[in-house]
Chain A
Amino acid sequence: MSENIVDKVTQGDYKYGFVTDIETEIIPKGLNEDIVRLISQKKGEPEWLLEYRLKAYRHWCTLEMPKWAHLDIPEIDYQDIYYFAAPKSKPSPKSLDEVDPELLKTFDKLGIPLEEQKQLSGMAVDAVMDSVSVKTTYKENLAELGIIFCSFSEAVKDYPDLVKKYLGSAVSYADNFFAALNSAVFSDGSFVYIPKGVRCPMELSTYFRINAKNTGQFERTLIVADDDSYVSYLEGCTAPVRDESQLHAAIVELIAHDRAEIKYSTVQNWYPGDKDGKGGIYNFVTKRAICKGDSSKVSWTQVETGSAITWKYPSCVLQGDNSVGEFYSVAVTNNYQQADTGTKMIHLGKNTRSHIVSKGISAGHSQNSYRGLVKVSKNADGARNFSQCDSLLLGDKCGAHTFPYMDIKNDTAVVEHEATTSKINEDQIFYCNQRGISNEDAVGLIVNGYAKEVLNKLPMEFAVEAQKLLSVSLEGSVG
């Protein structure tokens, strides 16, 4: 059975692949200074932000696409992409009645109702389609606590000082090729500020949707947690099925002050391409957290099942003494998907701790790599890291790779790394079969069991979704 069983998994339909028929405002294709100015103008931005964009653009022009990842990236023509696309409807609707019903329907269909009464209680949503935010829910309720949760564009208008202070402080525009690109052309995203001593009472979440053709999505998320505050934030993403690949290059910046905690969870389900590797999203994302304050804490949890190519390394700079960074990841690749993902934990402060759990699952002809850096600087006395990287293979045409880097400059550091590679074995499948469980359900059970340690870190509602997603992503990988 081996061959057949483990050959058949990924023909599951991508159920978010529909296109919303809505009039879209689009600017000319290609990238140059005029385009950057045009985007800034469309968004009515202040001069300083335009300057920031232009600096980023000029820097980007000097850079080349990074080639070090274990990825086979087709040539991307950056002049053949639309850098701004917006559903044509009234800008920043004050109430739901002003939002185009087509848009509401789209998000409904995705399971993200924007009517507050219909939502899961305890979750506020910012819905972003292509380049703009459609609607942010529960804004008023949160504002009573002093919490700011709004689209990035609104933040630029309403809280310019905060944005100015923190923009680029975790990920500078000069950080890397894709960060520079994003800094030049970023469109929308979410902004969160949690004031001192406030525990955010609900999950905040942003739902990203690419709809327009041949466009890139370049969103930016900035979350600032002031002293003694706490926030849990989720992001989800989907895109229609298209034959051409689309580019997604985002930046996420998190800043945690003294004793603040940020929990950031992602369920990434961009269109992965078809079973022959045609189409799919190129997902090049820079995510970084600065644990700035003493005893601050940031946890990244990600479930990566989508995208044709994934290049992302959510990282923590552990600057404050006693700060904690965590990274929990499940990355599934199937068919011809490629993922090169992992984290960087940079220990600067004393007694800083980091914990990495990475679970890779590869099927089909896919390539799945973990790449991680643990760096302990000279002054980071008592730094502690534990990394665990597990790979699970389904079939014999896929690849799993682990690239751990360690750069330790302090003798008191304790750094541990464990790695395992396993295959779903046929005995396990047959055992399930003998109890009346089909191959696909057996794989679903085993894969979810394998990823449980990470899935358990997700907020409840998401964990259930993620479990289903894991099974669906591997559908057909076992015959």
Chain B
Amino acid sequence: MLEIKNLHANINGKEILKGINLTVRPGEVHAIMGPNGSGKSTLSSVLAGNPTFTVTEGEVNFYGKNLLELSPEDRSREGLFLSFQYPVEIPGVSMVNFMRTAVNEHRKYKGLDPMSASDFLKLMREKKELVELDNKLANRSVNEGFSGGEKKRNEIFQMAMLEPRLSILDETDSGLDIDALRIVASGVNKLKSKDNASIVITHYQRLLDYIVPDFVHVLYKGKIVKSAGRELALELEEKGYDWIKKELGE
């Protein structure tokens, strides 16, 4: 579904991604790990189309389409979802209004009529339970005054509402206590199917106890330097990143 070839990207002229190659097939979970500043979050931003970054080289193919040519909103409508590391607060815009706009934009893109208010509220109730979000959420402004844990649960709730084909979870575990982590992970697992895939970006092996990856990649200095099965995560947890640096001859 997703094929990244030799992707290079920079911010303000500073190159962050230096030739990423990655293939993701339906049903797979990929974990991307790596030390601070290796480019993990940049990769997710670039895939989602954040205009702060400039792609200088490479190709990204998403279900046969050139992803890099699509606007950020069309990438979303094509089924690419990014769970933000730092979800943004939008004061004054209620969650229900925000989500309804988003869901209906997705429907419009697929040539469907907007959802009726009652169907929408029903869907929202259903999906909220998945991440144990409380009912007051709907009337609160997007992420405003949410605790760290609520923000992350809210991201997964939105993911459940939009039913993406590819989800990128950018450090979804950061700032979560163990209970919140469990809730978020179980939400992600319930949404997993043979037709969708996820890329889980994380610092720690901890999250991968809950969301079990099929592949683990190490991103270092803007390149994927090592890929293996889930055992790689455990090895990293134990030994840190230094041995990889050594292997690379640094």
Which residue of chain A lies nearest to B50 when distances are taken between CB atoms in the complex? A430
Is A435 close to B, CB under 8 A? yes
List, in ascending order, chain B residues with CB within 8 A of A445's CB: 90, 93, 97-98, 101
List, in ascending order, chain B residues with CB within 8 A of A1's CB: 51
Whether B162 and A449, one on each chain, are in contact in the complex, defined by CB atoms closer than 8 angstroms, is no
CB distance from B112 to the nearest CB of A (A): 13
Is A407 close to B, CB under 8 A? no
CB neighbors of B among A376-423 (8 A): none
Whether B90 and A437, one on each chain, are in contact in the complex, defined by CB atoms closer than 8 angstroms, is no
Instruction: Find B90's partner among A431, A438, A439 (CB 8 Å cutoff).
Output: A431
Is A450 close to B, CB under 8 A? yes
List, in ascending order, chain B residues with CB within 8 A of A438's CB: 71, 73, 105
CB distance from B75 to the nearest CB of A (A): 8
Is A154 close to B, CB under 8 A? no
Q: Which of B10-18, B81-89, B200-208, B235-243 forms contacts with chain A? A: B81-89
Instruction: Find B76's partner among A427, A436, A439, A451 (CB 8 Å cutoff).
Output: A436
Is B8 close to A, CB under 8 A? no
Give Cα A439 to B90, complex, Å.
14
Give Cα A446 to B144, complex, Å.
13
Is B109 close to A, CB under 8 A? yes
Is A434 close to B, CB under 8 A? yes
Is B48 close to A, CB under 8 A? yes
Give Cα A422 to B51, complex, Å.
21
Is B102 close to A, CB under 8 A? yes
Which residue of chain B lies nearest to A453 when distances are taken between CB atoms in the complex? B92
CB distance from B189 to the nearest CB of A (A): 22
Known: A434-B48, A436-B106. A449 touches B73 (CB 8 A): no
Give Cα A435 to B100, complex, Å.
11
Which residue of chain B lies nearest to A1 when distances are taken between CB atoms in the complex? B51
Whether B105 and A441, one on each chain, are in contact in the complex, defined by CB atoms closer than 8 angstroms, is yes
Whether A435 and B92, one on each chain, are in contact in the complex, defined by CB atoms closer than 8 angstroms, is no
Which residue of chain A lies nearest to B89 when distances are taken between CB atoms in the complex? A428
CB distance from B137 to the nearest CB of A (A): 16
Whether A434 and B91, one on each chain, are in contact in the complex, defined by CB atoms closer than 8 angstroms, is no
CB neighbors of A among B55-98 (8 A): 71-73, 75-77, 81-82, 84, 87-94, 97-98
Q: Of B82, B93, B97, which is in contact with the most chain A CB atoms at under 10 Å from its CB?
A: B93
CB distance from A424 to the nearest CB of B (A): 10
List, in ascending order, chain A residues with CB within 8 A of B91's CB: 449-450
Whether B93 and A441, one on each chain, are in contact in the complex, defined by CB atoms closer than 8 angstroms, is no
CB neighbors of A among B140-159 (8 A): 141-142, 158
Whether B97 and A436, one on each chain, are in contact in the complex, defined by CB atoms closer than 8 angstroms, is no
Is A109 close to B, CB under 8 A? no
Is A433 close to B, CB under 8 A? yes
Is A452 close to B, CB under 8 A? yes
Which residue of chain B lies nearest to A450 when distances are taken between CB atoms in the complex? B92
CB distance from A378 to the nearest CB of B (A): 40
Give Cα A201 to B82, complex, Å.
51
Instruction: Find A433's partner among B52, B73, B106, B162 (CB 8 Å cutoff).
Output: B73
The size of the chain B interface, using a CB distance under 8 A, is 34
Give Cα A384 to B197, complex, Å.
59
Give Cα A448 to B90, complex, Å.
11
Is B34 close to A, CB under 8 A? no
Chain A window 1-31, contacts with chain B (Cβ cutoff 8 Å), 1 for yes, 0 for no: 1000000000000000000000000000000
List, in ascending order, chain B residues with CB within 8 A of A433's CB: 49, 71-73, 76
Chain A window 439-461, contacts with chain B (Cβ cutoff 8 Å), 1 for yes, 0 for no: 10100011011111000000000
Q: Of B50, B88, B141, B158, which is in contact with the most chain A CB atoms at under 10 Å from its CB?
A: B88
List, in ascending order, chain A residues with CB within 8 A of B52's CB: 426
Which residue of chain A lies nearest to B51 when distances are taken between CB atoms in the complex? A1
Whether B90 and A446, one on each chain, are in contact in the complex, defined by CB atoms closer than 8 angstroms, is yes
List, in ascending order, chain B residues with CB within 8 A of A451's CB: 92
CB distance from B149 to the nearest CB of A (A): 19
CB distance from A391 to the nearest CB of B (A): 14
Chain B window 100-141, contacts with chain A (Cβ cutoff 8 Å), 1 for yes, 0 for no: 011001100100000000000000000000000000000001
List, in ascending order, chain A residues with CB within 8 A of B94's CB: 449
Whether B109 and A431, one on each chain, are in contact in the complex, defined by CB atoms closer than 8 angstroms, is no
Give Cα A1 to B73, complex, Å.
14
Which residue of chain A lies nearest to B84 when distances are taken between CB atoms in the complex? A431
Known: A430-B50, A441-B105. A435 touches B93 (CB 8 A): no
Known: A441-B105, A445-B97. A435 touches B51 (CB 8 A): no
List, in ascending order, chain A residues with CB within 8 A of B48's CB: 434
Whether A430 and B162, one on each chain, are in contact in the complex, defined by CB atoms closer than 8 angstroms, is no
Whether A430 and B92, one on each chain, are in contact in the complex, defined by CB atoms closer than 8 angstroms, is no
CB distance from B144 to the nearest CB of A (A): 10
List, in ascending order, chain A residues with CB within 8 A of B105's CB: 435-438, 441
Q: Of B50, B75, B162, which is in contact with the most chain A CB atoms at under 10 Å from its CB?
A: B50
List, in ascending order, chain A residues with CB within 8 A of B50's CB: 430
CB distance from B44 to the nearest CB of A (A): 10
Whether B51 and A434, one on each chain, are in contact in the complex, defined by CB atoms closer than 8 angstroms, is no
Q: Of A427, A435, A441, A446, which is in contact with the most chain B CB atoms at under 10 Å from its CB?
A: A435
List, in ascending order, chain B residues with CB within 8 A of A446's CB: 90, 92-93
Give Cα A439 to B49, complex, Å.
13
Known: A1-B51, A441-B101. A435 touches B90 (CB 8 A): no
Whether A435 and B87, one on each chain, are in contact in the complex, defined by CB atoms closer than 8 angstroms, is no
Known: A430-B72, A431-B84, A431-B87. A437 touches B102 (CB 8 A): yes
Instruction: Find B162's partner among A426, A436, A441, A450 (CB 8 Å cutoff).
Output: A436
Known: A430-B50, A430-B72, A449-B141. A437 touches B101 (CB 8 A): yes
Give Cα A447 to B247, complex, Å.
53
CB distance from B171 to the nearest CB of A (A): 16
- Chain A interfacial positions (CB closer than 8 Å to B): 1, 426-428, 430-439, 441, 445-446, 448-452
- Of all A-B residue pairs in the complex, the 7 with the closest CB atoms, nearest first, are A449-B92, A433-B72, A1-B51, A449-B93, A436-B76, A435-B102, A431-B88
13 contacts between A and B (CB under 8 A): A428-B89, A431-B142, A432-B73, A432-B98, A433-B72, A434-B72, A437-B101, A439-B73, A445-B98, A445-B101, A448-B93, A449-B91, A452-B92
- Supplied contacts A436-B73, A436-B102, A436-B105, 7 more A-B pairs, CB within 8 Å: A426-B51, A431-B84, A433-B76, A435-B98, A436-B76, A436-B106, A437-B101
